[in-house]
Amino acid sequence: MFVDEVDIHVEAGHGGRGCLAFRREKFVPRGGPSGGDGGHGGSVYVVASAHTNTLINYRFHPEFSAERGGHGEGSNRTGHTAIDLELAVPIGTLVYEKTGDANQPYRLLADLTEEGQRVLVAHGGRGGLGNARFASSTNRAPRKVQPGEAGEVKDLRLELKLLADVGLVGFPNAGKSTLISRVSAARPKIADYPFTTLTPNLGVVRLSDDRSFVVADVPGLIEGAHRGLGLGHQFLRHLERTK
């Protein structure tokens, strides 16, 4: 199943709480503060990957949360920093943040067009300070600590635009799928009834001088497609990057 647009909800991890602790040593009945800081929460990144070509996984599992940071401990030990969460998407994915503004409901965060390219979409919370941080010449036994900061929460839209050099667009049953099957190794479904092609297909055309280019075959257009007739015209986004 080919899915090229999804909405997801992401939550970065909260920072860990700072620790309230004092040194307990032999012959030191009143040791100073020794509470460590909390660890930072994990951030959330969206990463372009050549190992996936659809957003289908996010349609059925649209909510993601990064780990929270570890709480601080005694003996000035800092809580562990949480591992960042990376969400793999196909190359060519645009990442939008929902703004809540009716006039401009989405803000573009990134257009991921290269393998490994990534964008930070939700920043993890900073760890809170332990009581050792609050010691001073006037307060040698502070009992103050900080809670960890909350991680960012974002609602996102992911939109895939295929990367192709040439696009084939036309009426249903015009022979687009037959053409791409002849000039490349792609094997789209071919039949003698309208709308055989329901999703975009990509084929690589190899030339004799070791050059190549990518061809995209999209579903057929009919009159009134802009009003939702036939298969509509949303899939035309996959031709926007053609050269």
Average pLDDT over residues 164-176: 78
pTM, 2 dp: 0.81
Is the pLDDT assigned to residue 25 strictly greater than 90?
no
What is the sign of the dihedral through the CA atoms of 222, 225, 228 and 231? positive
Average pLDDT over residues 173-179: 76
Is the pLDDT assigned to residue 2 strictly greater than 80?
no
Q: What domains can you pick out in the chain, each with its CATH number?
A: 5-160 (2.70.210.12), 166-239 (3.40.50.300)
Among left, alpha and beta (phi > 0; psi -120 to 50; other), residue 29 is alpha
Structure tokens of 179? 């053409």
Is 235 or 167 the better-scoring residue by pLDDT? Answer: 167
Is the pLDDT assigned to residue 187 strictly greater than 90?
no
Question: Hey, is 57 helix, strand or coil?
Answer: helix
Give me the pLDDT at residue 194, please. 44
Average pLDDT over residues 82-96: 97
Structure tokens of 3? 């899915």
Separation CA 22–CA 210 (nearest Å)? 70
Cα Rg of the chain (Å, integer): 27
Compute the mean pLDDT over every residue in the chain, rounded to the nearest whole number: 86
Give me the pLDDT at residue 197, please. 53
Beta bridge partners of 8: 156
Give me the pLDDT at residue 202, please. 72
Nearest to 50 by CA among 120, 8, 109, 112: 112
**C-alpha dihedral over 113, 5, 239, 185, to 10 degrees?**
80
Separation CA 101–CA 71 (nearest Å)? 37
Confidence of residue 205 (pLDDT cuts 50, 70, 90): confident
Is 212 or 62 the better-scoring residue by pLDDT? Answer: 62
Residue 87's Cβ-side half-sphere holds a number of Cα atoms within 13 Å equal to: 31
